[in-house]
A and B are shown apart, each in its own frame.
Chain A
Amino acid sequence: METVADFLAALRRGTLSARAAVDLALQRIAAADPALQAFLAVRADEARAQAARIDEQRAQGQDVGPLAGLPFGVKDVICERDHECTCCSKILKGYRPPYNATVIERLRAAGAIPIGRLNMDEFAMGSSTEHSAFQQTRNPWDTTCIPGGSSGGSAAAVAARMVPMTLGSDTGGSIRQPAALCGVTGLKPTYGRVSRYGLVAYASSLDQIGPLALSAEDVALVLPHLAGHDPQDTTSAALPVPDYCAGLSGDIRGLRVGVPKEYFVAGLDPEVRHAVQAAIARLSALGARVEEVSLPHTEYAIATYYVVATAEASSNLARYDGIHYGARAADTRNLLEVYTHTRRQFFGDEVIRRIMLGTYVLSAGYYDAYYLKALQVRTLIKRDFDAAFENVDVLVTPTSPTPAFKLGARTADPLQMYLADIFTVSVNLAGIPGLSIPCGFSEKGLPIGLQLLAKPFDEATLLKVGHAYQCATDYHTRRPANCTDLFDEETKE
């Protein structure tokens, strides 16, 4: 009983009640999370009450929704009514939104049960979850390593089988990179596929909410209940949402797979290179036609990303000023000090760094040289992908240049940390969908991720390829050692 598919099948058959599903998740969280620190808060009573209602309604023959009884975790950047939402920042400590994000409304309407809040880098800025103001999440495969970020809590919770599905958000790789580093499957949908209403904004033109789970099939089961137009988010697309499960044939014969040469460069860890090349060979063996392609503007992606994302962040985070909600510095003498002391005192260093960068690039006299130029390069990066997708159906790349690194290894060097996103940021700049799936392990037993990319709104192809690959491999089914023990305990009972 691990995957979304397992849970839903048992819940529908009636061999597992919603209440039992919630209890199972709570039990696993209680066992695994003290060592991993993925959850910021767990709401046992409320989740049990919601489960009991579902069981009662099901017993009365009512329609309880396609995901009824499925427990899931929520990254601390997505608003849930009356539940503290801090974005792992001291500046929002104690802040309880008065409304639900659209994705929460939709998942709840489908019967899924939110069970707790998940750790992340402050305001989703980071690649290791070390920038959380509250706790350090550890990688379930090696607790001396980072889980990736910023959705580190979301990835670790799924990897350790605490919950079958979590929500993350991805602005520059924040779902895919931790999914890769924790050995789970994570989807960053096309920009506009999933409503951003209720997602606390980091960089509005790049942010997307997406699911993390144990397989492409699990993502396909959940995605229809996240995706679709939302009148409250005018950047969400008014396009029909396909039945993603219907496309999971396992057959990818004739599929055209592109391998962008710019992604296999110096700095790529040899073990990652080896695992990704083996995965490409596997796809070829499954009948895909593999060819090399070029995305010539790839080298500008990191620079472009850190101009666009920080510019938007400097604007989006301006509202945390100590006036209307959240923390406010004490002992201020005037309004200016309320602003400066509050922001200096309650924002973390990485957030301040990005606000300063973004403020700089939007300033009079610098706008054209930085922000406007970055927008132009962004267009070129998008055109690279458009051109590539004229000849291929999917692109295959490593998700992260290295497996999980040690806690503290890069905190002193922000630039080194930024390079963790080198293979993921282009995807957000172009707005296309990206899926990370496990494709192997390093010698030290750390997971390695494969990134699959497709045309805008072609998540169906990503999931189809991911599923075919997972039908032929078992990397996604392997469990970290400590949670194998946990499951053995359960089995003994």
Chain B
Amino acid sequence: MAQYEAVIGLEVHVQLNTATKLFCRCRNHFGDPPNTNVCPVCLGLPGALPVVNQAAVAHAVKTGLLLNCTIAAFSKFDRKHYFYPDLPKAYQISQYDLPVCRAGWLEILLNEQPRRIGITRVHMEEDAGKLMHDEGGGGSVVDLNRTGTPLLEIVSEPELHSPDAAYAYLTTLKQLISYLGVSDCNMEEGSLRCDANVSVRPVGVTTLGTKVEIKNMNSFKGVHKALSYEIERQTKAVSAGQAIVQETRLFDTVQEKTVSMRSKEEAHDYRYFPDPDLAPMTFSAAQVEAVRATLPELPRARKERFAAQFALSDYDATLLTSERAMAEYFEATVQAGASGKAAANWIANNLLTALNAAHLTLAQCRITPAQLADMIALVESNAISSTNAKNDVFPVMFATGASPQAIVDEKGLRQVSDTTQIDAWVRAALEQNPAVMAALTSGKAKAAGTLVGAVMRLSQGKANPALVNARIAELTRAYLPPPPEPA
């Protein structure tokens, strides 16, 4: 039997996080009460006219540069027509033949090998509203807050050949776009959406098989599952000599399979034509270079710099650069005086664990980088023990946002390094533990170790552990029998 390979191209829609919508000045924000962020323009009222949001255009150009695209010298908006209740103008302002960006590539890691996936184009368009069915009153209602939200559609070349490759492409794309800061890339809130075109062909054949478009995949794992299902379905069909029907299929997230939605014959004629309300856009080489200069340091470069500059392990460097916010948090902590190693340890081991447990993002974290650096400084100067830091100071900082100094002072946690005081605790511990005393006098030096716990309890954990060990050794020496004379 012939071996088949899959050919996959992805269309990713990314909502841009501009303050306002693409063609009006309504707030661009998820989660507000329905139909509150609307105006004559995004409601498509008669006579209203669109005005392009220049911040959205800048975001598109940045994204294009991130994806190694050519930025068009001349670009325009077109109208794409179809009737649906979530589209008040009955056309979507999009870009047809002259997108802002084209011909780029994205490097992904597949089986730890770098591979370049071609980017066909990146174009701008407006989002539609949101239909809700049977919300109590029966029938359907529409929320037009989302109408006019700026979207980028990023179209890949059909150069992905497995669900794993598609998954790697999506995660890499999401990481890069998040780094750029142009989108929240939150699939749950719909700020990142993905459709896939997939076909199969016998290995060795270079022409493309009949493609099927898959929609309604609402997570990267969903994309993986849908593609796996669809590739298997098509491979079975082709192996059995059946023809693939060119169609659009929906991914059923419950049954985890794709089902037919509409065939090519039912496809829309969108009647694209240039939007006469919007002048074409031009981008000079100088403008493009000016935007390029504002691009942030990207994850891979940053990871290499972190590893070298702060002597971090490859694992820590990768973790700390996986999100731009985390990398910035780390660098801010270091700038506030912490060593790279200590900052990395505290962020990787304590902060992330606490955030995950509380279901918070770094942006919602109440500990500032400067506070974290202050706490690390308290530990490193022996003002508090690392145990106190972990168990008593850090959790309060995390919960309240209070400064570590204030917590240490309020709880009286400042570490005691005064030998007179520590000696008093050691003597008291000895008196409370006659068994230890007896063991010592019988020559068992190791018995002194059991006093550490007692001293720490007496000091309520504040005694400097290194000094405690040293003073115990010193003060218990008198009880030990004299060492045998050298022969």
Chain A residues at the B interface, C-beta cutoff of 8 Å: 78-79, 85, 87, 92, 95, 97-99, 101, 196-201, 203-205, 231-235, 311-312, 314-315, 318-319, 321, 323-325, 335, 339, 359, 362-364, 367, 371
Q: A79-B46, A203-B276 are in contact. List 17 more A-B contacts (CB 8 A).
A: A87-B46, A97-B40, A98-B40, A99-B40, A197-B48, A200-B46, A234-B50, A235-B49, A235-B276, A315-B91, A318-B83, A319-B89, A324-B44, A335-B85, A339-B83, A359-B271, A364-B271
B46–A315 CB distance below 8 A = no
Contacts of B276 in A (CB 8 A): 203-205, 235, 312
Q: Are A97 and B47 in contact (CB under 8 A)?
A: yes
The answer on a CB contact under 8 Å between A318 and B90 is yes
B45 & A325 in contact (Cβ 8 Å cutoff): yes
Residue of B nearest to A231 (CB): B51
CB neighbors of A among B247-288 (8 A) = 269, 271-273, 276-279
A–B complex contacts, Cβ < 8 Å, 6 sampled: A234-B278, A235-B277, A321-B90, A324-B44, A339-B83, A359-B271
- Return the contact of A204 from the options B40, B85, B88, B277 (Cβ within 8 A): B277
Question: What 1/0 mask marks residues of chain B from 26 to 54 whose CB sits below 8 Å from any chain A CB?
Answer: 00000000000000100111111111100
Q: If the complex has contacts A87-B46, A97-B47, A324-B43, are A311 and B279 also in contact, measured as CB distance less than 8 A?
A: no
Residues of B within 8 A of A335 (CB): 85
Nearest B residue to A206 via CB reads B276
Given A231-B51, A363-B269, A318 and B46 contact (CB-CB distance below 8 Å): no
Distance (whole angstroms) from the CB of B321 to the closest CB of chain A: 41
Given the known inter-chain contacts A204-B277, A315-B91, please indicate yes or no for A234 contacting B271, CB distance below 8 A.
no
Chain B residues with CB under 8 Å of A101's CB are 47
With A and B bound together, what is the CA distance between A429 and B81 in angstroms? 24
Contact A196 B90 (CB under 8 A): no
With A99-B40, A323-B85 known as contacts, the answer to whether A200 contacts B47 (CB < 8 A) is yes
A235: which of B52, B272, B279 is its contact (CB, 8 Å)? B279
Asked if B47 and A321 sit within 8 Å, CB to CB, the answer is: no
State whether B81 touches A319 (Cβ < 8 A): no
The closest CB in chain B to the CB of A363 belongs to B269
B215, CB-defined interface residue at 8 Å: no
Residue of A nearest to B88 (CB): A324
Pair A311/B47 contact, Cβ less than 8 Å: no
Residues B90 and A319 in contact, CB atoms below 8 Å apart: yes
Q: What's the Cα separation between A319 and B47 when bound, in Å?
A: 11
C-alpha gap A312/B46 in the complex (Å): 14
Q: Which of B43, B45, B91 contacts A318 (CB 8 A)?
A: B91
Q: Give the distance in Å from the alpha carbon of A312 to the alpha carbon of B277 in the complex.
A: 10
The 9 closest A-B pairs by CB, nearest first: A318-B90, A205-B276, A204-B276, A362-B271, A200-B46, A198-B47, A79-B47, A200-B47, A364-B269
| Inter-chain contact A234/B49, CB cutoff 8 Å | yes
B123 contacts A by Cβ under 8 Å:
no
- A78 CA to B278 CA, complexed, in Å: 20
**Closest CB in chain A relative to B83 CB, distance in Å:** 5
B414 within 8 A of A: no
- Of listed B46, B52, B279, residue having the most chain A CB within 10 A: B46
Collect the chain B residues with CB atoms within 8 Å of residue A235's CB: 49, 276-277, 279
Encoded as 1 (CB less than 8 Å from any A CB) or 0, chain B from 47 to 81 comes to 11111100000000000000000000000000101
Inter-chain contact A315/B269, CB cutoff 8 Å: no
By the criterion CB–CB under 8 Å, are B46 and A92 in contact? Answer: yes
Measured in the bound complex, the distance between the Cα atoms of B47 and A85 in whole Å is 11
A199-B47 CB under 8 A given contacts A234-B277, A318-B81, A321-B83: yes
Once bound together, how far apart are the Cα atoms of A58 and B49, in whole Å?
A: 35
Question: Closest Cβ of chain B: how far from A216's Cβ, in Å?
Answer: 28
CB neighbours (8 Å) of A204 from chain B are 276-277
In the docked arrangement, what's the CA distance between A302 and B464, Å? Answer: 96
User: Are A362 and B273 in contact, CB atoms less than 8 angstroms apart?
Assistant: yes
* CB nearest to A364 among chain B residues: B269
Q: Give bound CA distance, A324 to B86, whole Å.
A: 10
Complex Cα spacing A364 to B272, Å? 9
Q: Are B79 and A315 in contact (CB under 8 A)?
A: yes
The distance in angstroms between the C-alpha atoms of A359 and B51, with both chains bound, is 26
Residue pair A234, B47 in contact (C-beta under 8 Å)? no
Assuming A97-B46, A198-B47, A233-B49, is B273 touching A311 (CB within 8 A)? yes
**Nearest chain B residue, comparing its CB with the CB of A203:** B276
Given A234, A323, A371, which contacts B51 in the complex, CB threshold below 8 Å?
Answer: A234
Complex contact A201–B51 (CB within 8 A): no
What residues of chain B lie closer than 8 Å to A199, measured between beta carbons?
A: 47
A85 CA to B276 CA, complexed, in Å: 23
Bound: A203/B45 CA distance, A: 16
* Assembled-state Cα–Cα distance A367/B79 (Å): 14
Residues of chain B within 8 A of A364, CB atoms compared? 269, 271
Give the shortest distance, in Å, between B89 (CB) and chain A (any CB): 5
